[in-house]
Amino acid sequence: MFPGAAIAVARAVVDPLLTVVFPSFCVVCRAPLSEPTRGPLCQGCWTCLPRHRDALCPCGVPLGAGVPRPCGRCRRGRAAFEAGASLGPYEASLRTAIHELKYRGRRRLAGRLAEALLAEPGPRAVLGGAVVLVPVPLHPRRRRERGFNQSELIAQALARLTRLPVAASALVRRQDTPSQSGLSAAERRRNVASAFVVRRRPAIAGRVVVIVDDVLTTGATARACASALRAAGARSVRLLTIARVA
């Protein structure tokens, strides 16, 4: 029996038992979970994860109504990425799912978010022709505190689904910068300007690299990563995130 089929059979046995013995509820709508082994969101909330409604620039920036493609940064030749995409805006059930993964350690959510990402044409296009996935790294101290890197979990889930390799240790965060939360766009850029460095150049040089992260806010962190990857000889740098702040 294939691993996926074995897992499905196990869930078919375990889920009905859990719903009776240890009933649990969706963290978004509080409905009873019929498949608790699939994570803390019910199937209805998974189906209704927010998606981008506006047109998108090839770099992944949502464009408002009437805004021409490409975006202003791309038109000026200042785009940090050759291509970019995300599942949807950082709001509602998508925001909750990311918080459950990142702050409550619900690691299995990484797999379900990766599945949702690959169901969209934009993210699939970003991965087309890619050679290696590079998760945005945490500083070692912060990783020890959290116990995992959520971006690496998402990258590993994508790798299982696409068979692309993950170069998890190629890019490292050499500076333990303060949290980006609450900082302005300019402060975020200064905060991470020289925070990242490539330590495994052969894994990057001459390759099409896709940076993987959970949330894109101002893009300062992702652009700093892209700069380090280009300095190491990456042929092309793309960006894939689960959500994007409007």
Lowest average pLDDT, out of 23-32, 155-164, 174-183, goes to 174-183
Tokens of 212: 């993987």
Q: Is the pLDDT of residue 178 over 70?
A: no
Backbone angles phi, psi at 166, to 5 degrees: -110, 125
Q: Is the peptide bond before 58 cis (omega within 30 degrees of 0)?
A: no
Taking only the tens place, the pLDDT of each residue in 91-104 is 999 999 999 999 99
Domains in the chain (CATH in brackets) are 1-39 (no CATH), 49-244 (3.40.50.2020)
Q: Is the pLDDT of residue 1 over 50?
A: no
Q: Is the pLDDT of residue 17 over 60?
A: no
209, 131 contact by CB (below 8 A) = yes
Q: Check residues 67 and 73 and name the one with the higher pLDDT.
A: 73
Q: Where are the beta strands (DSSP E) in 14-120?
A: 83-89
The structure's pTM equals 0.85
Residue percentage of the chain with pLDDT more than 70: 84
Of 61, 29, 59, residue with least CA distance to 42: 29
pLDDT at 66: 72
Beta strand pairing call for 132-135 and 83-89: unpaired
Torsion of CA 126, 132, 138, 141, to 10 degrees: 170
pLDDT band at residue 48 under the 50/70/90 scheme: very high
Number of other residues whose CB lies within 10 A of the CB of residue 133 = 25
Residues 6+ apart with CB under 8 A from 148: 105, 107
Q: Check residues 20 and 93 and name the one with the higher pLDDT.
A: 93
Q: Is the pLDDT of residue 61 over 90?
A: no
pLDDT band at residue 187 under the 50/70/90 scheme: low
Radius of gyration of the chain (CA): 19
Q: Is the pLDDT of residue 62 over 60?
A: yes
Question: What is the rounded average pLDDT for all residues in the chain?
Answer: 86
Q: Check residues 54 and 177 and name the one with the higher pLDDT.
A: 54
Q: Is the pLDDT of residue 2 over 60?
A: no
Using alpha carbons, list the distances in angstroms from residue 139 to 91, 117, 147, 160, 179: 26, 26, 12, 25, 11
What integer is the mean pLDDT of 28-40?
83
Q: Which amino acid is at 221?
A: T
Taking only the tens place, the pLDDT of each residue in 188-233 is 566 666 789 999 899 999 999 999 999 999 888 999 999 999 999 9
109, 142 contact by CB (below 8 A) = no
CA distance 216 to 85: 10
What integer is the mean pLDDT of 11-27?
64
Lowest average pLDDT, out of 102-111, 156-165, 185-194, goes to 185-194
pLDDT band at residue 74 under the 50/70/90 scheme: confident
pLDDT at 14: 57
